[in-house]
């Protein structure tokens, strides 16, 4: 699940903190990097659990309506299509998700007010209304409605963002990327797999884990060389006047460009320019792009970059 986009972003965050808090213990910083990556995987599982929690709340609403002293005909014969959703039923018994719940002891029980509000938001959507009225009773329809509801109601949900921020300092920065992993997981679910449906692994393979470790260490250990290159290519600027985040982004980009010959330069440049646009100043994207382009051309002229 943890891809290189997330790895790059996490490394920049940890390198920034490494310099800002005055700690120069590389091993401790590396542990912090992998801890923060593991928290992103926790968030992935937690958001999968949210869909089950909303469905369970909907069932409680139905049960409470039936138990009223004077239930209406609608109370006694409710439309149970939403709570009988076949995709959610499969997710609810997923072995990997249940193992996560058992190990982490995490639930949405302490945030039932949010679960209630999210459910009420869902039932007001056109997607929900169309689903409840549709005669389609297929697994594919049940899976697709949750893909749409997730995009509509869980993406860009400020109340959810606040809850996640209260639970972990890491999660708000991670959510946008993790949302894409949840959607990918929904799409991959197959009823034939039952409770054994595989969720996304924490790391795709050992290569990505090693990529994170090597990129982080090279970014720190070769910092003086990268500062020198940045300084040479920003002669009209004093380093003190350049946004510190821009320097960290370029430092990490140079570590990647010079350490991993199999990654095309254009891929590395595009990734770090996008990070600069999102996480630094308004002008950082163009500044980082221009500076890195100049450094790459210099390295090629000097024969220090052969890719």
CA distance 152 to 148: 6
pLDDT value, residue 75: 81
pLDDT value, residue 238: 66
**Mean pLDDT across the stretch 154-174?**
91
| Same domain flag for 274 and 162 | no
| Same domain flag for 134 and 74 | yes
306 pLDDT tier (thresholds 50, 70, 90): confident
List pLDDT tens digits, range 94-146: 999 999 999 988 899 999 999 999 999 999 999 999 999 999 999 999 999 99
**Mean pLDDT across the stretch 39-44?**
96
Place of tokens 């599982």: 45
| Same domain flag for 289 and 253 | yes
DSSP characters for 81-128? Answer: TTTT-HHHHHHHT-HHHHHHHHHH---SGGGHHHHHHHHHHHHTSHHH
Structural domain of 228? 222-301
pLDDT value, residue 240: 67
Query: Is 72 inside any structural domain?
Result: yes
CA distance 288 to 279: 12
Helices (H), 222-283: 223-232, 244-259, 265-279
| Same domain flag for 49 and 123 | yes
| Same domain flag for 171 and 296 | no
Write down the pTM of the prediction.
0.89
Looking at every residue in the chain, the average pLDDT score rounds to 94
| Same domain flag for 239 and 156 | no
Q: Phi and psi dihedrals of 2, rounded to 5?
A: -70, 110
């Amino acid at each position: 699940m943890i891809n290189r986009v997330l790895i790059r972003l996490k490394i920049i965050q940890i390198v920034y903190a490494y310099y800002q808090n005055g700690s120069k213990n590389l091993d401790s910083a590396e542990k912090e990097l992998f801890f923060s990556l593991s928290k992103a995987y926790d968030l992935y599982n937690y958001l999968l659990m949210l869909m089950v929690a909303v469905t369970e709340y909907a069932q409680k609403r139905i049960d409470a309506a039936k138990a009223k002293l004077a239930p209406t005909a609608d109370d006694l014969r409710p439309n149970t299509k939403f709570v009988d959703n076949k995709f959610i039923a499969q997710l609810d018994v997923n072995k990997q998700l249940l193992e996560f719940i058992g190990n982490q002891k995490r639930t949405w029980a302490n945030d039932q007010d949010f679960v209630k509000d999210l459910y009420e938001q869902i039932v007001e959507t056109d997607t929900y209304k169309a689903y409840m009225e549709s005669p389609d009773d297929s697994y594919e329809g049940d899976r697709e409605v949750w893909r749409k509801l997730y995009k509509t109601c869980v993406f860009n949900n400020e109340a959810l963002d606040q809850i996640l921020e209260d639970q972990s300092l890491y999660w708000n920065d991670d959510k946008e990327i993790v949302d894409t992993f949840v959607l990918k997981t929904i799409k991959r679910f197959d009823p034939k797999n039952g409770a054994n449906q595989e969720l996304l692994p924490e790391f795709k393979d050992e290569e990505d884990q090693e990529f994170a470790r090597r990129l982080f260490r090279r970014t720190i250990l070769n910092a003086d060389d990268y500062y020198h290159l940045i300084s040479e290519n920003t002669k009209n600027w004093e380093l003190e006047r350049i946004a510190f985040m821009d320097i960290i982004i370029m430092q990490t980009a140079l570590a990647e460009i010079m350490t991993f010959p199999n990654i095309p330069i254009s891929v590395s440049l595009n990734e770090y320019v996008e990070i600069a646009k999102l996480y630094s100043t308004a002008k950082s994207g163009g500044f980082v792009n221009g500076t890195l382009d100049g450094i790459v051309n210099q390295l090629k002229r000097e024969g220090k970059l052969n890719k």
